[in-house]
Structure 1
Amino acid sequence: MDTKRLILFVVFSFSILMLWDSWQRDHKPAPTPVATATQHAEDSSVPQAAAKSSTASASQASLPVETGFRLQSGERVQVETDLYKASIDTIGGDLRRLELREHKDDVDLDKNFVLMDDASAPMLYVAQTGLIGNDLPTHKAVFTSDSSSYQLTPGADKLDVRLTWKGDNGVEVDKIYTFHRDSYAIEVSYEIRNNGTVAIDPSVYYQIVHDNQSHQGSYMMPTFTGGAYFTEADKYKKLSFSDMSKTNLSKNASDGWVGLVQHYFVSAWIPKDGLAREFYSKKLSDNMFSIGSVSHLGNIEPGQSIELKSRLYAGPQTQSELKSVAPGLEYTVDYGWLTVIASPLFWVLSSIQKLVHNWGVAIILLTVLIKLAFYPLSAASYRSMANMRELAPRLQRLKEQYGDDRQKMHQAMMEMYKTEKINPMGGCLPILVQIPVFIALYWVLLGSVEMRHAPFMLWIQDLSAIDPYYVLPILMGATMIIQTRLNPKPADPVQAKVMTIMPVVFSVFFFFFPAGLVLYWLVNNILSIAQQWHINRTIHQAAEKKKGNARR
C-alpha cells in the first residue's frame, strides 16, 4: 500500500474542507431584521462615552440599535510622504483614503495599493477618532486646516498635519497627524484647551469603519478580513464580521490595541500606554461595521489644557516592523496553532533571502534544508515502500491464489511480512511527523507579505499570485505521476484508482495556489523522487543479490 501518498491525500483533502468550513463560518451572512433608514435616522457610529473610572472604562453593554449610517464629506487635505498618499477629510478629521506607495495594486502594477477608501466601490474603509461629551468634536464635527496640501520635504524626518476646531463653549481642539519617514506608524494627537468657564469631562474614541464584503479572498484561497484586538491578559483575538453582527464587543483593558486585519495588511489603533480603555464593535448597517476603543480622560478645568497621543499603524504585515510598534501586533500574521513551528521557519526563510536576495531561491534552499533535516525519517518511509514494491509480485500471486477469500489472503500476507521482516505501516510515522512542518510552511508562504509581488525568474514575477501560464502546477502534477510510478501499486483496486487520479486532483488545486507555494511543493517532490529512486535502486539490487545467492 502506498501509505505516504494516501496519507497526504487525506490530509490535503481535510485541509481543504477545513478551509472551506472556516470561510463559511467567517463570511456566511447572518439573518438581520429589516430596518428602514430615513433622513433623520440616528447615526450611532459615534460610540457612547466611557464612564468615569480611575481604573477601567465602563461597559458599553447598552449600545444603541443602529438605524442608519451616513458618511459625510467636507474638504479634503492631501498628504504625501515617502510611504503614503493620504486624504484627510475636514469632517471629523477622518483618514478617508490611504495609498501605500511601496506596495502596488493587486492587478494594475502601475497603481499604488489602496488600503483605505471611502468611495464605497468596491470597499469602504476609514479611520476615525473623536471626543465625546460637553459638545466636543466627534468624527462628525467640522475642522479647519491652514493648508489643503502637505508634503514631507527631503531631509525631514516627520510631517505634522494640524486640524483645528473651536466650540461655542470656549473649548479649542487641535487634532494633529504626525507622519514619520520610513514608518507606517502614524502619531495622532489631541490638544484640548478649555478656554470656557466650566469644567469639561471628555472621553476619546478611536475606531475603524469597514464593510463586510471586500478583501474576502477567493473560494479556493479564502483569507480572513475582520476585527482583531490584543491585550496582555487575553492575547490576540480575532473577531469576524459575522460575530460582530450577532454580538457587540465590550472588553475593558488597560493595555493593548484594536484594529482591522486583512490578507497582508493591517490597521490598528494603539492608545496611549496606561490609559484605561474599552474595546468595542458595532454593526452600523447591513454591511458596515466599526471596531474601536473608547477611554475616559477625566476633568479639564477652565484655563487648563491637555495633550493626548495615540498611534495608528496602517500598512503591511511586515513582522520586523510590527514587533517594534506594539506588543502583539506581530500576531496579525496569523499562523494559528502552528505558530511555534511557522515563526522559526519564516526566520530561516528571511535569513536566506537576505543572502540570496530572491524569495524564490530562498524557498528552494529552505525546502532543501527541510528535506535534509528529515532525510532519516524520509529514508525510513521510502525503504518501507521499496520493500513493499519488491513484494508486489508475490502479493499479486497471493491474490490470484486465494481469489475472494480475503481472510486467508490477509493471513498469508501477514505471514509473508513476518518472514521478510517488513512492517507495511512502517512509512506512516515518519510522514505524520513531517506533516505539521509542511502545513506550517504552507501558512508561512501564504501569509507573508514579503512574497507579494516578489519576482522569482522568467515568467514568475509574483510569488503570491498564481502561475500565469500554469507551468509550475503542471510540472508538479508530472512529478506526482513519477512518484506514483516509483511506489508499489496498492492491492486494493479502490486505492489504486485513488493513487491514479490524485496527481490530477492535486494539479487542479494547485492551479489556484500562489506560485511560491507550488514552487515549494515542486522542489520537495523533485527531491523526494531523487531520494526514493536511490532507495528503490538500492533495495532492488540487494533483493537481486539475495535471489542470486539463493540460486547458488
Structure 2
Amino acid sequence: MDIRRTILWMIFSFSLLFLWNNWQVHNGKPSLFGGAPAAQQQEQAQADGQTPASDAGVPVPTDVAAAPPSEVPATPQPVQTQAEPVVITTDVLRLTFDPVGARLVKAELLKFGAVDDRDRPVVLLDNSPSLTYLVESGAVGPQGAAFPTHRTPFQVTTQARELSGDAMDISFEAVSGGLRVVKTFTVRQGRYDIHVRHALTNVGDAPVSPSVYMQITRDSSKPPGESSFYSTFTGPAVYSEQDKFQKISFADIERDRATYTTQANNGWIGMIQHYFVTAWVPDQGVERTNNLVALGNNLFAMRAIEPAGSLAPQETRVMNAQLWVGPQDQQALEQVAPGLGLVVDYGWLTVIAKPLFAIMTWLHAMLGNWGWTIVALTVLIKLVFFPLSAASYRSMARMKAVAPRLQAMKEKYGDDRQKLNQAMMELYRTEKINPLGGCLPILVQIPVFISLYWVLLASVEMRGAPWILWITDLSVRDPWFILPAIMMATMFLQIRLNPTPPDPIQAKVMMIMPLVFGGMMFFFPAGLVLYWVVNNCLSIAQQWYITRKIANQTAAVAKA
C-alpha cells in the first residue's frame, strides 16, 4: 500500500470532521464532540451568597393564551418559616422537601457514588452556595390572584418518611386566594419516576381559573467531575411530537434567542447533565405552555403551565404528572414517556450508536460485566468488517512482497515523478494490488469508533462499572495508563507488519503516529481504550495470518 495515500486519507477525513464541527459551533449548534455552543463556553462562576432561585419572581408572558397574565410566584419575597425539611428515603432516593412551597430542594441518588467520594451518594438536586438546582410547582391565576405557589408555606399531611412497601405518598397542603392545593408525591420501590398529583379545590364563593405550573430551576454551573479534555451538555431540553428533541443552551436563554416548542399537548421538559436528568412529564393530551426564562444572577427556570379551567365553588380538579429525578437509564426513561430516552444524546451518529448500545445491553445480559461486554462487542465488529480487513491485509502483504521492486524503481527513475508513478501503477496492475485497499477499513471504522466513544461516554451504565484488576471504572481514564501503553505497543507492532515506506520521512511519520494516538488515549475512558486494544490485537493476528499465508503461496509458486 502507498502509505502516503493512507496518511492523506486519514488527514483529509479528520479535517472534514473537524471543519464541520467548527462550522456547527460557529453557528451556535452543539459540538459534535459534546461541547456546548461557543456562546455557552463563557465562564459562569456562581458567587457565594447569591439569591436562591426561589427568591425571584418569574414572569409569565402575557401573550400565552394557555396561561393567564400573572407572576410565578405572585409574592415579591419568600415567606420565612421555621418548618423543618421533610426527608423521604427509598431504596434508591433520598429526597428533601422544603415545606415552603413543598419544593424538592435536594435529591441524593443512593445507588450512585459521588465523583470525589464513592462512599457518598451523588447529589443531583441541591440548594446550596455551590449549586442551585430545584424542582418546584404551584398554582397561578389572573392578575392579583394569590394562589399557593412555590413560596407559600405548606403543611405536611402525611407521617411516613421511609418507604417500607412498594409505594408511599407524601402530601402537602396549602390554602391561598380561595384555592386549596394538595400536592401528593408518590415514590415507589426501585423507581426514579415520581408520580405528582396536584388537587385544586375552590374553597371560595366565586369561580376561579387557576393554572398549574411545573418548574425546574438551575444555575448554569457544570456538574462536578467534568473532564477538561471533553465536554458534555448541561442545560434544558424540550420534547414534543411535532418538533422532537430540542436542546437549549443557557446562553441562548440569557440572550433571549432560544428556539423551542412553546405550545404542545404532549412531550416533556427536562434539565440534562452528564449521566443524570430531571424531567417533568405532564399528562399527555393536555394543552400546555412551555417557557424558559433567565432569572438573572446566573439562574434559569424552565416550566410547563397547564390551565385547569374554571372551578366552581367547592369543585376539585386533579392535575397529574410524572417527575423523573435520576440516572439516564434509557429503557426506564422510555417507559415513562416517549422520547425521554433521547436525553442520552449520541449526537449525529445516533443511528449507529443506538444499535451498538442495544447489542452491548444484550451481551451484558449474558456476560454480566461491561468490560467483557466491550471485548465481545469488539470481536463482533471485527467479524462484520472481516471481508474488508482481509482485502486490506492481502493488499498490504502483496505490497510488502513487491517492496524491493518499488525501491528499485525509485532508484532507477530518481526525481522523475511521472515515470515513477507510471511504473508503480503498472506494477500494481500486473500484481493485482489496490494501493487504496488498506484505507477503506480505516475510513469505515471511523464512524463506528466515534459512535462507540459516545456510547461509552454517555451511557450511565458505564459509570463505576469495573472490568478486571486495576480497571474499576470504565467511564474514566485508566488510572495506571496500562491500556494506553498496550495500545501504543500494538500500534507499533502493526506498523512493523506493514510495508516500510520507501521515503525515510514517511517512515518516521508512521513511527510517530502510535505516540500521537496513544497519547490521546491517556485521557479517554478506559472502556474506549479497551476496545481499541482488543481491536488492534485482533488486527495483528489477522494480518500476521494473511501475510504468512500469502508469503507461503508466493514461495510455493517460486519453487514450481
Question: Could you say what secondary structure the match of 2:128 adopts?
Answer: coil
Q: What's the counterpart of residue 189 of structure 1? A: 197
**1:355 Cα deviation (Å)?**
1.1
Distance 2:304 2:559 in 1: 80
Distance 1:16 1:100 in 2: 37
Query: What aligned pairs does 1:146-161 form with structure 2 within 5 A after superposition?
Result: 146=157, 150-153=161-164, 156-161=165-170
Query: What aligned pairs does 1:112-511 form with structure 2 within 5 A after superposition?
Result: 112-121=121-130, 123-133=131-141, 134-146=145-157, 150-153=161-164, 156-167=165-176, 169-215=177-223, 217-246=226-255, 247-248=257-258, 249=260, 251-511=262-522
Distance change >3 Å, CA 11–CA 208, structure 1 → 2: farther
TM norm structure 1: 0.89
Q: What's the counterpart of residue 77 of structure 1? A: 86
**1:544 Cα deviation (Å)?**
3.2
Query: What aligned pairs does 1:506-545 form with structure 2 within 5 A after superposition?
Result: 506-545=517-556
Distance change >3 Å, CA 528–CA 4, structure 1 → 2: farther
TM norm structure 2: 0.88
Contact 2:79 2:152 in 1 (8 A): no
The aligned amino acid for 2:438 is: G
% same residue: 45
Distance 1:263 1:479 in 2: 32
The answer to whether structure 1 residue 48 and structure 2 residue 52 are counterparts is: no
Distance 1:358 1:313 in 2: 27
Question: Could you say what secondary structure the match of 2:37 adopts?
Answer: helix
Distance 2:54 2:383 in 1: 64
**1:398 Cα deviation (Å)?**
1.9
The aligned amino acid for 2:467 is: F
**1:465 Cα deviation (Å)?**
1.4
Distance change >3 Å, CA 317–CA 9, structure 1 → 2: farther
Distance change >3 Å, CA 540–CA 472, structure 1 → 2: same
Among 101, 104, 111, the alignment partner of 1:92 is 101
Contact 1:52 1:298 in 2 (8 A): no
Distance 1:386 1:59 in 2: 75
Question: Could you say what secondary structure the match of 2:290 adopts?
Answer: strand
Among 107, 114, 118, the alignment partner of 1:109 is 118
Distance change >3 Å, CA 473–CA 31, structure 1 → 2: closer
**1:107 Cα deviation (Å)?**
2.4
Question: Could you say what secondary structure the match of 1:101 adopts?
Answer: strand
Contact 1:47 1:205 in 2 (8 A): no
**1:13 Cα deviation (Å)?**
7.1
Contact 1:381 1:430 in 2 (8 A): yes
In the TM superposition, what whole-angstrom CA distance separates every residue of 1:208-238 from its partner, at most 9, and x where no partner exists? 1122121283231211111111111111111
**1:492 Cα deviation (Å)?**
4.7
In the TM superposition, what whole-angstrom CA distance separates every residue of 1:149-170 from its partner, at most 9, and x where no partner exists? 71112xx111111111122x43
In the TM superposition, what whole-angstrom CA distance separates every residue of 1:10-33 from its partner, at most 9, and x where no partner exists? 65676678778522625635699x
In the TM superposition, what whole-angstrom CA distance separates every residue of 1:360-400 from its partner, at most 9, and x where no partner exists? 11111111111112111110111112222222222222222
Contact 2:148 2:180 in 1 (8 A): no
The aligned amino acid for 2:169 is: D
Question: Could you say what secondary structure the match of 1:440 adopts?
Answer: helix
Question: Could you say what secondary structure the match of 2:129 adopts?
Answer: coil
Contact 2:158 2:169 in 1 (8 A): no
The unaligned stretches of length 5 or more in structure 1 are none
Distance 1:235 1:357 in 2: 34
Distance change >3 Å, CA 360–CA 38, structure 1 → 2: closer
Stretch of structure 1 that moved more, 398-407 or 250-259: 398-407
The aligned amino acid for 2:216 is: I
The unaligned stretches of length 5 or more in structure 2 are 26-30
Q: What's the counterpart of residue 28 of structure 1? A: 40
Contact 1:58 1:252 in 2 (8 A): no
Question: Could you say what secondary structure the match of 2:187 adopts?
Answer: strand
Distance 2:191 2:348 in 1: 30
